[in-house]
Structure 1
Amino acid sequence: MLNRTLISIVDDDQLYRESMRKLVVSMGYTVEAFPSAAEFLASRLLPETTCLIADVHMPGMTGLELHRHLVDAGYAIPTILVTAYPDEVVRDRALKDGIVCYLSKPVDDDYLERCLRSALQPGTSIEDNS
């Protein structure tokens, strides 16, 4: 089975970015990783990205700002945010803005996999457990 799903990871932490890339590849996805929002936005792979995993806190443009920029530019890419500094206010705002999942680092592998499935199957939501 050929999986044409492209997951793009944007995180300024090289070690975390690489470990996240390996994890998502191990789940069977095609993955590209970028060190900044600017590099992702300049990439020829932007239009092919079917899901985005982005760090919340990055220099230049945060993960939430990247998501808003993509929406404003007409790219409806399901987005998962990850952060080492969880904040309920930011989480609530992100979910209201259409973020699929807001995860704390280190992420739980099983929960990330459920988030990816939810992101790639519109109409299902991992966060509907309130």
Structure 2
Amino acid sequence: MISIVDDDQSFRESMRQLVILLGYTVETFPSASDFLASPLLPETACLVADVQMAGMTGVELHGHLVDAGYAIPTILVTAYSDEAVRDQALRDGVVCFLSKPVDVDHLDRCLRSALRSATPSKDSS
């Protein structure tokens, strides 16, 4: 399952439709806190999150998941490209960093790469 977290409803819905057309099961969430509170969190094979969100950003969400022991491959998307943020996110283990509007072929490659790198959702140690 691919989880999409974005506070922009129209982008979230269009991304949901796009990922479904690529053949994946999708759940969407309007905020990082809604995603973190969801019982679907452990079922998430890949996370697609917006960088700029109220409350907790996509970068912060990725860091929180890593700190909590979740190994969910993450793709970040942004309308406001910032090389420093992109470079740091990639160093921190984000699989891909995409600009809006998202290129379908690039998204497809990123999803495939993320799912290849997937490990169990929660460390069992």
Report the TM-score when normalising by structure 2.
0.93
Q: Does 1:75 align with 2:70?
A: yes
Q: Does 1:14 align with 2:9?
A: yes
**SS of the counterpart of 2:11?**
helix
Q: Which runs of 4+ in 1 moved over 3 A?
A: none
Equivalent in the alignment of 1:126: none
Q: Percent identity?
A: 75
The alpha-carbon deviation at position 122 of structure 1 amounts to 1.9
**SS of the counterpart of 1:95?**
helix
Query: Could you tell me which amino acid in structure 1 is paired with residue 48 of structure 2?
Result: I
Report the TM-score when normalising by structure 1.
0.90
> Aligned partners of 1:29 and 1:43: how far apart in 2?
19
- 1:37 corresponds, among 32, 35, 44, to 32
> Aligned partners of 1:31 and 1:90: how far apart in 2?
26
Q: Does 1:120 align with 2:115?
A: yes
- Supply the RMSD in Å over aligned alpha carbons: 0.9
> Aligned partners of 1:22 and 1:113: how far apart in 2?
13
Equivalent in the alignment of 1:85: 80
**SS of the counterpart of 2:98?**
strand
Q: Unaligned stretches of 5+ in structure 2?
A: 119-125
- 2:95 corresponds, among 89, 92, 100, to 100
Instruction: Report the number of matched residues.
Output: 118
